[in-house]
Amino acid sequence: MSVKALQRRLRNWVHITRLDKPIGIFLLLWPLLWALWIGAGGPPPLRILIVFIAGTVVMRSAGCIINDFADRNIDYYVKRTRDRPLAARRMSPHEALWLFAVLIAVALWLVTRLDALTVRYAFVGAALTISYPFMKRFFPLPQLYLGAAFGWAIPMGFVALQGHVPQVGWLLFLVAVLWAGVYDTVYAMVDRDDDLKLDVRSTAILFGDNDRTLVGALQVLVIVGLLLAGRAAQLNWLWYAGVLAGSALFAWQQWLIRHRARADCFRAFTNNGWFGLVVFVGALLALQH
């Protein structure tokens, strides 16, 4: 294989795993970090932190591959996705599945650095991740299913730290599911016209003209969930300050999507990375010793 051919292959691997678009990694990482800090009552053990961060990056990459594999005959007809390696026929399905298998093997190796119960929870998370792309064909709320896949690292984190999932762990998991409903609905608003033509399900389509109102309702539920989680974990006022800052960002997102313009909806989607960060900073400060 020539150097240029190798470079093209590596570019395709980066593209299909979205390593060039780290917003997806951050949207998975922030709820996980909330959970690890709260579950540990402060900084978690370094080994657990490294395994979960690495596992998040690997599983997100694997999830992107299987998503593109499932959508390889659809993405070409969507303006935002037609240049993806499988849709553009720059990568074969066989090569994509091979890369997916390698990443799953790496994820499995990582999780086996933890205890047996956490490994069993990991299989549930893997099943959610792999099945999500196919849910869009018939499930009217795929964004919430995605939230379950993205948020499953939260109960895993509590199991790794405490050996069980306490009430606050399930609260944070529910928050992660609802938050995915917020940012992925806004994301789906970018592709709504294309999805309607292709008969792809999304909450943006299901919500219709009530999309902004229902996204706002989900945002309120996320904030309420975070407040309840702070109460369950007996966190101090700094946690609530972080949640308040997150509320301001949610209000800004509502302003951005007011005209449902594609570019502004995408800006609102990426703004959720800052939401996750400010809530994490609140947890970090509330649990500092």
Rounded Cα distance, 104 and 96, in Å: 12
How many folded domains does the chain comprise?
1
The alpha carbon dihedral of 6, 11, 13, 16 has a sign of: negative
pLDDT, one tens digit per residue, over 148-207 is: 988 999 999 999 999 999 999 999 999 999 999 999 888 888 766 555 555 566 666 667
CATH number of domain containing 156: 1.10.357.140
Which stretches does DSSP call E strand in the chain? none
Instruction: Print the domain residue range for 67.
Output: 3-286
Reduced to 3 states, what is the DSSP secondary structure of residue 43?
coil
- 125-141: per-residue pLDDT in tens? 989 988 887 776 666 67
- Tell me what pLDDT residue 157 has: 97
Distance CA 284, CA 38 (A): 9
Token look-up 């939260």 returns 154
The pLDDT, as a whole number, for residue 199 is 58
Q: Phi first, then psi: what are they for 169, rounded to 5°?
A: -65, -45
CA distance to 15, 271, 280, per residue, from 23 (Å): 14, 9, 16
pLDDT digits (tens, 9 = 90+) for 95-151: 999 999 999 999 999 999 999 999 999 999 989 988 887 776 666 677 778 889 889
Q: What is the mean pLDDT of the chain?
A: 90
pTM of the model: 0.91
**Residue 38 — pLDDT band, cuts 50, 70, 90?**
very high
The pLDDT of residue 2 is 79
